[in-house]
């Protein structure tokens, strides 16, 4: 009993000491605050990562800016740069979604024309061979034309015109590809329709001379002699020095001999 009484003050002191420590810790925890989010520094960090090709890492930083930049000054730019990270990684479908989201939110932003240009380029970059790229080339043309229509003072006008011409070449090549396929199969009516569509929709294309030649042969195989002669004569008049024109002359001569 005596020993217990002697220990009581020590225990009381220990409890008081522990209580004070716990209170002090909780007090200082309340006093310690996280520093404010530095949007500018984070944005520069993301830019540096992108410049070094670390697009996925940059995207994470940019997503952080989107959620924490209360001023929205850098949050808006972060949305655009997130789209850029996808574009640079050749993830064009994701890039289009992000660019379009930016445009939907900020159609009058100073970088809106850039976002629209990148949408068009996202489709343009997906163009491969004509046999598999018809629809994507059509969409690219639509998006480039939307850029010209909605942002007539955009700084991409010259390159846009070149890209549109390139897309039309793909469409013309596709028509010739399909027409040639039908011609080889002996489906001359379908072939003639494709060659005619090429000549009417894409005048002065690189496939024009071949389209005229095989259009003439298709008509001859269909028994439409006058149309055949007309197509081959047009070929000779427009392209007098090429080999196909010489072939056309020989073919027309053979037709005269058959009369």
Residue 57 in tokens = 């890492």
What would the mean pLDDT of 77-105 be, rounded to a whole number? Answer: 98
Angle between helices 157-185 and 208-221 (to 10 degrees): 20
Rounded Cα gap, residues 122 and 185, in angstroms:
36
Instruction: Give the up-direction half-sphere exposure of residue 16: CA atoms within 13 A in the CB hemisphere.
Output: 6
Residue 16, in any domain of the structure = no
Rounded Cα gap, residues 78 and 96, in angstroms:
15
Residue-wise pLDDT tens digits, 21-50: 454 455 444 445 667 778 899 999 999 999
Computed over every residue of the chain, the mean pLDDT equals: 90
pLDDT: is 10 or 131 the higher one? Answer: 131
Residue 146, in any domain of the structure = no
Structural domain harbouring 83: 41-89
Residue 83, in any domain of the structure = yes
pLDDT at 134 over 50: yes
Residue 61, in any domain of the structure = yes
Residue-wise pLDDT tens digits, 142-162: 999 999 999 999 999 999 999
Specify the number of domains making up the chain: 1
pLDDT at 190 over 60: yes
Residue 50, in any domain of the structure = yes
Counting residues of the chain whose pLDDT is more than 70, the rounded percentage is: 86
Residue 202 in tokens = 């894409």
Whether the Cβ atoms of residue 99 and residue 86 lie closer than 8 Å to each other: no
Question: How confident is the model at residue 255, as a pLDDT?
Answer: 85
Residue-wise pLDDT tens digits, 201-221: 999 999 999 999 999 999 999
Residue 189, in any domain of the structure = no
Residue 105, in any domain of the structure = no
pLDDT band of 75, cuts 50, 70, 90: very high
Best-predicted range by mean pLDDT (5-9, 71-75, 146-150): 146-150
Instruction: Name the least confident of 26-30, 99-103, 116-120.
Output: 26-30
Residue 203, in any domain of the structure = no
pLDDT at 66 over 60: yes
Question: How confident is the model at residue 2, as a pLDDT?
Answer: 47
Question: How confident is the model at residue 34, as a pLDDT?
Answer: 64
Instruction: Of 80, 100, 91, 89, give the one whose Cα is nearest residue 147.
Output: 100
């Amino acid at each position: 009993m005596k020993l217990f009484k002697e220990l009581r003050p020590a225990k009381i002191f220990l409890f008081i000491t522990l209580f004070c420590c716990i209170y002090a810790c909780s007090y200082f925890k309340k006093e310690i605050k996280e520093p404010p989010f530095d949007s500018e520094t984070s944005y520069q960090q993301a830019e540096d990562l992108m410049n070094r090709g670390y697009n996925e890492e940059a995207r994470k930083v940019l997503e952080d800016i989107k959620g924490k930049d209360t001023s929205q000054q850098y949050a808006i730019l972060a949305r655009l740069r997130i789209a850029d990270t996808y574009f640079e990684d050749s993830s064009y479908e994701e890039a289009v979604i992000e660019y379009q989201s930016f445009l939907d939110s900020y159609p009058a932003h100073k970088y809106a024309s850039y976002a629209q240009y990148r949408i068009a380029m996202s489709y343009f970059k997906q163009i491969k061979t004509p046999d598999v790229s018809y629809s994507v080339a059509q969409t690219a043309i639509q998006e480039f034309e939307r850029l010209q229509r909605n942002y007539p003072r955009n700084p991409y006008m010259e390159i846009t015109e070149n890209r549109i011409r390139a897309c039309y070449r793909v469409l013309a090549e596709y028509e010739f590809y399909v027409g040639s396929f039908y011609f080889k199969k002996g489906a001359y009516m379908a072939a003639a329709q494709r060659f005619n569509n090429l000549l009417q929709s894409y005048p002065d294309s690189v496939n024009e001379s071949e389209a005229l030649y095989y259009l003439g042969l298709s008509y001859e195989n269909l028994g439409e002699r006058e149309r055949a002669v007309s197509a081959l004569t047009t070929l000779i008049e427009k392209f007098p020095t090429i080999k196909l024109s010489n072939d056309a002359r020989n073919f027309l001569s053979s037709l005269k001999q058959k009369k």
